[in-house]
């Protein structure tokens, strides 16, 4: 199957769908998505989408909170675009009919989440992503100029004379096709599946990062992986996210003895930034040898089940009453701040190739993303990507920061691993608490595994399992290398052997470029 279009969009989350709607104003659009159209991180988003629309809020205040959470590494110009374009782009969603919760006066009801100084999170109860997906998908389906192909996984970028001309893709196990376009947008989302414990669905394997890397695109800040502090921690049950909005509405973290331990670690208590809360939970579990819990028992039970019906159902499924019981929680990999390096218009270092949403790194989140800024990023930078893709000419992005040339490891000295082995290693050695010894051993193991995957045919093969494993190993390999090289702790990147932030040496973004 060979497809041609003016614009090609890979991925059907908020960034891809928002971009496609704008691109269709200027030409024919093809969207490839590797599973069902609604299967994406976007579809599972709970807490909401942040935007400075409240009477007590302003883009400047939103920028200040974003930059504070980003721990000295946010790119100010990117933050500026996010907070200034954000209110307009979110109002557009409301105009299109987004069924966000409303206050009695009819205005959007604004939720509170960690490290936001005011209430600024629009939400559709606790299933905001499902509502945004429904809305965007309805508009995309009604647009004759957009063709969507599901179960179509992009495997490799097509590069001619140094520019991107489209992708190769597989459908099912055998059907290999090409899609060719003047401009290609990577909107393939994050890579939570690289870790054994994650909030992310199965599609989030970092395909866009691996494909871009192999094509020689610049990757940035891959050491910065956000671990959400609170997922349901029940043996055998999925790691279901327990939204930060729960704590925003008054839920407390307590230890086995019922002590609210967060106030010991940070004056912001349960609403401290995510990295702080996640590490505090791990330390409390280590200190006490017993689990940590979320409790909402002091809140009005009717309010809890009305405001959080999806979470209440998931807890009930695991045998807990959200409004009454203590719910055991632990951290899990949630979001990738780093990714394919882009400028403010989503241009990558390869002409013709753009990236937006979680796959991209504009630097907007720095070392640690502020809650509910990711849906906003997908919306704002999806729209900005489309504007740039429609414009001509198309130079490659100009980027700053330190650049490191890397090469694939040499001869295979190990067997191809299982996906579980890769994810388990990443969780144990490249997770929330990192140290040189563990990172070095993990990097050496990933070197051997990557060479073995390459020798077996790697991501270009039709064997779905090998493709998935090769992608996980490739993305894990970049994350481990980046984590090993940053000799400091900042935001979500914590090194037990370098526990302090080191602005003198590390107040910078570091990029990798792969030479094959
Ligand atoms: P996604 O929504 O992940 O979409 C990626 C798309 O690319 C998918 O359709 C996928 O199938 C497709 N794809 C991947 N690889 C390929 C390939 N090789 N070929 C073709 N298609 C491919 N953020 C917030 O701001 N607020 C929240 O409340 C919030 N809650 C969250 C809750 C959960 C459980 C999770 C997992 C994340 C949450 N986030 C939240 C983060 C946020 O949802 C994501 O960062 C954001 O939705 C990413 O959007 P995206 O469009 O970049 O990618
Ligand atoms: C959550 O609801 O806690 C997730 C919000 C986010 O990832 O921004």
Can you tell me the mean pLDDT for 503-513? 96
Q: What is the pLDDT of residue 267?
A: 85
The Å distance, Cα 256 to ligand 1 centre, comes to 34
Banded model confidence at residue 293, pLDDT cuts 50, 70, 90: very high
Asked if residue 222 lies in contact with residue 359, where contact means CB atoms within 8 angstroms, the answer is no
Q: Report the percent of the chain where pLDDT is more than 90.
A: 90
Backbone dihedral region of 473: left (phi > 0), alpha (psi from -120 to 50 degrees) or beta?
Answer: alpha
241 C-beta closer than 6 A to ligand 1: yes
Mean pLDDT of 200-213: 98
3 state DSSP class of 46: coil
Atom of ligand 2 at shortest distance to CA of 372? 8
HEC letters along 142-208:
CCCCEEEECCEEEEEEEEECCEEEEEEEEECCCEEEEEEEEEEEECCCCCHHHCCCECCCCCCCCHH
416 Cα to the center of ligand 1, angstroms: 28
Write out pLDDT tens, residues 6-40: 999 999 999 999 999 999 999 999 999 999 988 99
Q: For residue 181, is pLDDT > 80?
A: yes
Largest CA distance in the chain: 66
**Angle in degrees, 0-180, between the axes of helices 76-95 and 373-390, rounded to the nearest 10:** 90
Q: What is the pLDDT of residues 51-104, one digit of tens each?
A: 999 999 999 999 999 999 999 999 999 999 999 999 999 999 999 999 999 999
Q: Which ligand 2 atom is nearest residue 244's CA?
A: 3
Question: Residue 245 C-alpha to ligand 2 middle, in angstroms?
Answer: 7
Residue 460 has pLDDT above 80, yes or no: no
Q: Is 220 close to ligand 1, i.e. is its CB under 6 Å away?
A: no
Best CA proximity match to 33, nearest among 136, 172, 153: 153
Ligand 2 geometric centre to CA of 256 (Å): 25
Q: Is residue 391 exposed (0-12), middle (13-18) or buried (19+ Cβ within 10 Å)? A: exposed
> Which residue among 45, 69, 187, 384 is best mutated to probe the pocket of ligand 1, counting the most ligand atoms within 8 A of its Cβ?
45
Nearest by Cα to 511 from 420, 406, 438: 406
Domain positions in the chain: 1-224+337-402, 229-333, 403-509
Is the minimum distance from the CB of 371 to ligand 2 under 6 angstroms? yes
End-to-end CA distance of the chain: 28
Identify the burial level of 38 via C-beta atoms within 10 angstroms of its C-beta, where 0-12 means exposed, 13-18 middle and 19 or more buried: middle
Please return the burial class of 183, using the count of CB atoms within 10 Å of its CB with bins 0-12, 13-18 and 19+: buried
The residue that leads in pLDDT, 402 or 56, is 56
Q: Measure the CA–CA gap between 10 and 104, rounded to whole angstroms.
A: 40
- Rounded distance from Cα 381 to ligand 2 centre (Å): 19
Q: Does any ligand 2 atom lie closer than 6 A to the CB of residue 13? A: no
| Rounded Cα distance, 438 and 447, in Å | 14
Q: What is the CA radius of gyration of the chain?
A: 22
* Phi and psi, residue 285, nearest 5°: -65, -40
Mean pLDDT over 181-196 rounds to 98
Q: What's the gap in Å between 68 CA and the centre of ligand 1? A: 24
pLDDT tens-digit map of 338-374: 999 999 999 999 999 999 999 999 999 999 999 999 9
- Ligand 1 contact, 382 CB (< 6 A): no
Q: Among 202-211, 266-275, 307-316, 390-399, which is the least confidently predicted range?
A: 390-399
From the CB of 46, is ligand 2 less than 6 Å away? yes
Q: Is 188 in the pocket of ligand 1 (CB under 6 A)?
A: yes
Interval 392-407 mean pLDDT: 77
| C-alpha–C-alpha distance, residues 342 and 355, integer Å | 7
Average pLDDT over residues 136-155: 96
Residue-averaged pLDDT of the chain: 95
Q: Check: CB of residue 69 under 8 Å from CB of residue 273.
A: yes
CATH classification for the domain delimited by 1-224+337-402, as one of 3.40.50.720, 3.40.50.2300, 1.10.4080.10, 3.50.50.60: 3.50.50.60
Using alpha carbons, select from 505, 415, 416 the residue that is nearest to residue 458: 416
Question: Rounded to the nearest 5°, which phi and psi values hold at 29?
Answer: -120, 135
Contact, 304 vs 296, CB < 8 A?
A: yes
Q: Is the CB of 47 under 6 A from ligand 2?
A: yes
Q: Summarize the confidence of residues 322-327 as an average pLDDT.
A: 98
Mean pLDDT within 431-456: 96
Distance CA 430, CA 42 (A): 25
Model confidence at 396, in pLDDT bands (50, 70, 90)?
A: low
What φ, ψ does residue 253 adopt, rounded to 5°? -90, 130
Q: Is 200 in the pocket of ligand 1 (CB under 6 A)?
A: yes
Q: Is there a catalytic annotation at residue 4?
A: no
In CATH, what class is 403-509? mainly alpha
d(CA 127, CA 508): 36
* 284 CA distance to ligand 1 middle (Å): 30
Q: Are 355 and 167 in contact (CB under 8 A)?
A: no
Which of 18, 40, 49 to mutate for ligand 1's pocket (most ligand atoms within 8 Å of CB)? 40
Nearest-angstrom CA–CA distance, 108 and 370? 20
Q: Are 489 and 495 in contact (CB under 8 A)?
A: yes
pLDDT at res. 408: 87
pLDDT digits (tens, 9 = 90+) for 212-260: 999 999 999 999 999 999 999 999 888 999 999 999 999 999 999 999 9
CATH label, 229-333, candidates 1.20.1600.10, 3.40.50.300, 3.90.700.10, 3.90.1170.50: 3.90.700.10
Residue 40, ligand 1, Cβ within 6 A: yes
Residue 395: is its pLDDT beyond 90? Answer: no
- What is residue 254's predicted lDDT score, i.e. its pLDDT? 97
- Using alpha carbons, select from 89, 114, 163, 104 the residue that is nearest to residue 379: 89
Name the residue of 3, 9, 13 whose CB sits within 8 Å of the most ligand 1 atoms, as the mutation to test its pocket: 13
Taking the CA of 177 as reference, the closest ligand is 1
Ligand 1 pocket check for 364: Cβ under 6 Å = no
In eight-state DSSP terms, residue 35 is S
d(CA 225, CA 506): 17
Q: Measure 492 CA to ligand 1 centroid, in angstroms.
A: 19
Angle between helices 128-141 and 373-390 (to 10 degrees): 20
Nearest ligand 1 atom to the CA of 152 is 20
- Say which of 18, 252, 274, 384 is annotated catalytic: 274
pLDDT at 118: 97
Render the burial of 303-327: b for 16+ CB within 10 Å, e for the rest: ebbebbebbbebbeebebebbebbb
């Amino acid at each position: 199957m060979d497809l041609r279009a003016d614009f090609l969009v890979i991925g059907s989350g908020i960034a891809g769908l928002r971009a496609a709607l704008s691109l269709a104003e200027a030409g024919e659009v093809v969207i490839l998505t590797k599973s069902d159209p609604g299967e994406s991180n976007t579809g599972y988003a709970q807490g909401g989408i942040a935007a400075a629309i409240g009477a007590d809020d302003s883009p400047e205040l939103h920028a200040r909170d974003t930059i504070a959470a980003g721990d000295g590494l946010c790119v100010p110009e990117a933050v500026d675009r996010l907070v200034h374009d954000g209110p307009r782009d979110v109002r557009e969603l409301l105009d299109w009919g987004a069924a966000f919760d409303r206050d009695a006066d009819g205005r959007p009801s604004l939720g509170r989440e960690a490290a936001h100084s005011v209430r600024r999170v629009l939400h559709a109860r606790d299933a905001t992503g499902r509502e945004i997906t429904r809305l965007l998908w309805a508009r995309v389906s009604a647009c004759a100029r957009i063709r969507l192909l599901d179960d179509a996984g992009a495997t490799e970028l097509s590069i001619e004379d140094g520019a991107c001309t489209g992708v190769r893709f597989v459908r099912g196990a055998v059907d290999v096709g090409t899609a060719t376009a003047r401009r290609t947008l990577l909107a393939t989302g994050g890579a939570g599946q690289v870790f054994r414990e994650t909030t992310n669905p199965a599609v989030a394997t970092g395909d866009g990062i691996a494909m871009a890397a192999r094509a020689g695109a610049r990757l940035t800040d891959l050491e910065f992986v956000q671990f959400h502090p609170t997922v349901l921690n029940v043996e055998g049950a999925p790691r279901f996210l327990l939204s930060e909005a729960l704590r925003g509405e008054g839920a407390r973290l307590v230890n086995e003895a019922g002590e609210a331990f967060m106030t010991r670690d940070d004056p912001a208590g349960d609403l401290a930034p995510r990295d702080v809360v996640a590490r505090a939970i791990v330390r409390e579990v280590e200190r006490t040898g017993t689990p940590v819990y979320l409790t909402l028992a002091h809140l009005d039970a009717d309010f809890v089940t009305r405001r959080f019906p999806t979470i209440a159902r998931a807890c009930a499924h695991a045998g807990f009453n959200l409004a009454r019981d203590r719910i055991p929680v632990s951290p899990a990999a949630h979001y990738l701040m780093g990714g394919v390096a882009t400028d403010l218009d989503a241009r990558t270092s390869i002409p013709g190739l753009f990236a937006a949403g979680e796959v991209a790194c504009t630097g907007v989140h720095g070392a640690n993303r502020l809650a509910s800024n990711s849906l906003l990023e997908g919306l704002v930078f999806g729209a900005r990507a489309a504007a740039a893709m429609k414009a001509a000419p198309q130079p490659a992005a100009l980027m700053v920061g330190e650049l490191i040339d890397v090469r694939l490891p040499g001869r295979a000295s190990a067997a191809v691993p299982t996906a579980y082995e890769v994810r388990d290693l990443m969780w144990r050695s490249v997770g929330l608490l990192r140290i040189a010894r563990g990172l070095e051993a993990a990097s050496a193991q990933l070197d051997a595994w990557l060479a073995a995957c390459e020798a077996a045919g790697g991501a270009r093969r039709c064997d779905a399992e090998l493709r998935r494993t090769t992608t996980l190993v490739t993305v894990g390999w970049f994350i481990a290398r980046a984590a090993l090289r940053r000799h400091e702790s900042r935001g979500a990147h914590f090194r037990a052997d370098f526990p302090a932030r080191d602005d003198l040496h590390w107040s910078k973004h570091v990029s990798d470029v792969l030479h094959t």
